[in-house]
Amino acid sequence: MKNWDDYRLILALHRTQTLRGAADLLGVNHSTVSRRLVVMQHQLGHLFERTLDGYQVTALGLEFVNTALQIESLSESVERKQRGQNDDMAGPINLSVPPPIAQTLLIEELKEFSMRYPKIQLNINSSFEMRNLERAEADIVIRGTDKPPEYLVGRRVASVKLHYYGHVDYLKNTASEHYQWIGRDADEQNPQWIKDSPYPNARIGIRSDDILMRHQLLLAAYGLSRGACYMADPCKDLVRLNDMPTVHLTDLWVLIHPDLRETPRIKALMQFLCEALLKKKSLIEGKQP
């Protein structure tokens, strides 16, 4: 099989296990995927088994999947090196950064970078997912992790710390026996972090998996919360509930693919981000002045 598009279809169907999912990855209609699959299987043999769980690759199909992965990896390597050969301080940079980091720690800094390098276009993906630098989904990623992927290089800039907080109005106007917590969807009714808190008997009154929503609920004096020090400490109406030590959540890394680290514009942003976050290391690590 010499057509790279056919290999791409096999990979897409293997990864998504549905015709519609493969079509979405390829940017075509699912009926097109269905027709091409019929033709390929007629020419090559039985590549996929249709099951209740979706399309499962056969032993024959797996051989084509492995070949496709090798071709894909080579293609991505060539693409990265081509991007890295552009030595001008101009062009796009794809930056992936979690929403609270971007909105709380880097808004002004990213503006400053854009003003300093007006010919560089920043494309910011605000996400907690580890964007795939192998597939050029991002050039630089900022992530909270204690174990960054081995295929990336970068710098650890801080340890993200947590503490217990309350709004001054909430603490003033609510009797302690009526305190409630702002929790996550995944929290059980009395999770360990509440058991370790100053108010272990308070119940969870509201839940949200959105860290920014939990912070807004805390600012609205809806209840008590355990939150990131870098988000809560700068807010004058939020206070720590006691003098207990901060808790380590995760290390904060700025990461890049090795093929891109000498590209001038990407190297410039990498250095800029590391310096910007290191200046706020005390805030991130909850070291109050």
Q: At 80, which CATH number?
A: 1.10.10.10
Q: Please indicate, yes or no, whether residues 99 and 217 belong to a single structural domain of this protein.
A: no
End of a domain among 84, 111, 132?
84
24-51 mean pLDDT: 88
Q: Please indicate, yes or no, whether residues 120 and 138 belong to a single structural domain of this protein.
A: yes
Supply 83's token pair. 């991007």
Asked if 223 and 205 touch (Cβ cutoff 8 Å), the reply is: yes
Does the pTM of the predicted model rise above 0.75?
A: no
Per-residue pLDDT tens for 40-86? Answer: 888 889 999 989 888 999 999 898 888 888 887 777 666 656 555 55
Query: How many structural domains does the chain have?
Result: 3
The answer as to whether 48 is a domain residue is yes
Supply 275's token pair. 């310096």
DSSP result, 241-286 = SSSPPPEEEEEEEEEE-GGGTT-HHHHHHHHHHHHHHHHTHHHHTT
Q: Is the pLDDT of residue 268 over 60?
A: yes
Q: Is the pLDDT of residue 283 over 60?
A: yes
- Three-state DSSP at 202 gives coil
* Side-chain half-sphere exposure of 92, counting CA atoms within 13 A: 11
Question: What does DSSP say about strands 120-126 and 238-240: parallel, antiparallel, or unpaired?
Answer: unpaired
The answer as to whether 278 is a domain residue is yes
Q: Please indicate, yes or no, whether residues 80 and 100 belong to a single structural domain of this protein.
A: no
CB atoms under 10 Å from CB of 285, counted, come to 16
Per-residue pLDDT tens for 156-172? Answer: 999 999 999 999 999 99
Q: Please indicate, yes or no, whether residues 11 and 66 belong to a single structural domain of this protein.
A: yes
- Three-state DSSP at 167 gives strand
The answer as to whether 287 is a domain residue is no
The answer as to whether 134 is a domain residue is yes
Q: Please indicate, yes or no, whether residues 271 and 130 belong to a single structural domain of this protein.
A: yes
Q: Please indicate, yes or no, whether residues 166 and 244 belong to a single structural domain of this protein.
A: yes
**CB < 8 Å & 24+ apart, contacts of 128-132:** 128/98, 128/99, 129/96, 131/94, 131/96
Q: Is the pLDDT of residue 188 over 60?
A: yes
Q: Which residue has the higher pLDDT, 206 or 83?
A: 206
Q: Is the pLDDT of residue 180 over 80?
A: yes
Question: What does DSSP say about strands 153-167 and 120-126: parallel, antiparallel, or unpaired?
Answer: unpaired
End of a domain among 59, 84, 109?
84
Q: Please indicate, yes or no, whether residues 132 and 177 belong to a single structural domain of this protein.
A: no
d(CA 57, CA 112): 49
Q: Please indicate, yes or no, whether residues 59 and 137 belong to a single structural domain of this protein.
A: no
Per-residue pLDDT tens for 254-265? Answer: 999 888 878 899
The answer as to whether 288 is a domain residue is no
Q: Please indicate, yes or no, whether residues 236 and 167 belong to a single structural domain of this protein.
A: yes
- For residue 190, what are the contacts with CB-CB under 8 A and spacing of at least 6? 200, 203
Q: Please indicate, yes or no, whether residues 74 and 99 belong to a single structural domain of this protein.
A: no
The mean pLDDT of the chain is: 89
Q: Please indicate, yes or no, whether residues 117 and 54 belong to a single structural domain of this protein.
A: no
Q: Please indicate, yes or no, whether residues 273 and 136 belong to a single structural domain of this protein.
A: yes
The answer as to whether 205 is a domain residue is yes
d(CA 272, CA 95): 13
d(CA 117, CA 272): 12
* Side-chain half-sphere exposure of 216, counting CA atoms within 13 A: 8
Asked if 32 and 39 touch (Cβ cutoff 8 Å), the reply is: no
Q: At 124, which CATH number?
A: 3.40.190.10
- Look up the domain containing 187 and give its range: 160-249
Alpha helices (H) in the chain, listed in sequence order: 4-16, 19-26, 30-44, 59-84, 99-105, 107-116, 168-173, 192-195, 211-219, 229-232, 264-279, 281-284
pLDDT at 249: 96
Per-residue pLDDT tens for 88-136? Answer: 778 889 999 999 999 999 999 999 999 999 999 999 988 777 655 455 5
